[in-house]
């Protein structure tokens, strides 16, 4: 009877959550960069222009020191700019605005990468049949005699075994990972690989193979 190890929902959900958090932070940064920070900058700049209409040098002029609150109180709100003489607005510079776009770019790239991986592993599985061999989401048939080697160097410590294969139509690897796929079924598939290929020694001490991209 075939044994199928499906992608674990908890494993896939992690990447979905990561993607949502990163893309949400990207949206927040874009909102700050396009709207919130420019508005705060306009408010601060207006406040400074009213308080110091001829520049910072007027700090020594007693008239400016005594009249700035009156000038601010007389200012009429325009274009959403509301200021008062009690609280000084928070300063936002062009550098602050540019920083938001940089952070949006970084988190956006990471977020879209996580989302792409989340989508790509949907429905992923590894199936083993004693009569025919292995089947994955990408490869429909990998006969037992097409398997050329099995890297078990991380099986005991991490539950990862890398099956290398070479068929007339394709060449690559299938990664058995008991954290990524259903654990019990992954162990059963590992045992079937061991029984049907004679590539895994009984002591299960494998040599380190060159790492390859996961295909399963």
pLDDT tens for 46-79 read 888 887 776 555 555 555 556 777 777 777 666 6
Residues 57 and 100 in one domain: yes
Domain assignment present for residue 203? The answer is: no
138 and 38 housed in the same domain: no
106 and 18 within one domain: yes
Same domain as 75, residue 54: yes
Q: Same domain for 68 and 167?
A: no
Q: Does residue 45 sit in the same domain as residue 133? A: no
Tens digits of residue pLDDT in 130-149: 999 999 999 989 999 999 99
Q: Examine the domain organization and report whether 116 and 59 are in the same domain.
A: yes
Question: What range defines the domain where residue 165 resides?
Answer: 125-197
The 3 state secondary structure assigned to the chain is CCEEEEECHHHHHHHHHHHHHHHHHHHHHHHHHHHHHHHHHHHHHHHHHHHCCCCHHHHHCHHHHHHHHHHHHHCCCECCECCCCCCCCCCCCHHHHHHHHHHHHHHHHHHHHHHHHHHHCCCCEEEEECCCEEEECCCCCECHHHEEEEEEEEHHHHCEEEEEEECCCCEEEEEEECCCECHHHHHHHHHHHHHHHCCCCCCCCCCCCCCCCCCC
pLDDT one-digit tens code per residue, 146-159: 999 999 999 999 99
| Overall number of domains in the chain | 2
Q: Is the pTM of this model over 0.85?
A: no
Q: Is residue 64 part of a domain?
A: yes
């Amino acid at each position: 009877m075939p044994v199928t190890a499906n992608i674990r929902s908890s494993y896939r959900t992690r990447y979905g959550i990561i993607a949502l958090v990163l893309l949400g932070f990207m949206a927040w940064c874009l909102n700050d960069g396009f709207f919130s920070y420019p508005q705060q900058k306009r408010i601060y700049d207006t406040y400074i222009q009213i308080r110091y209409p001829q520049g910072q040098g007027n700090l020594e002029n007693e008239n400016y020191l005594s009249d700035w609150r009156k000038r601010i109180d007389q200012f009429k709100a325009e274009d959403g700019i509301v200021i008062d003489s009690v609280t000084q607005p928070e300063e936002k510079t062009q550098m602050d605005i540019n920083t938001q776009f940089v952070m949006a770019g970084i988190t956006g790239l990471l977020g879209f990468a996580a989302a792409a991986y989340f989508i790509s592993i949907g429905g992923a599985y590894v199936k083993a049949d004693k009569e025919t061999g292995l089947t994955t989401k990408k490869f429909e048939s990998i006969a037992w005699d097409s398997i050329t080697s099995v890297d078990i160097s991380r099986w005991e410590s991490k539950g990862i075994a890398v099956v290398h294969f070479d068929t007339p139509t394709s060449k690559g690897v299938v990664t058995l990972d008991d954290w990524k796929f259903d654990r019990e079924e992954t162990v059963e598939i590992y045992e079937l690989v061991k029984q049907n290929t004679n590539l895994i020694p009984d002591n299960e001490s494998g040599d380190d193979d060159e790492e390859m991209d996961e295909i399963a």
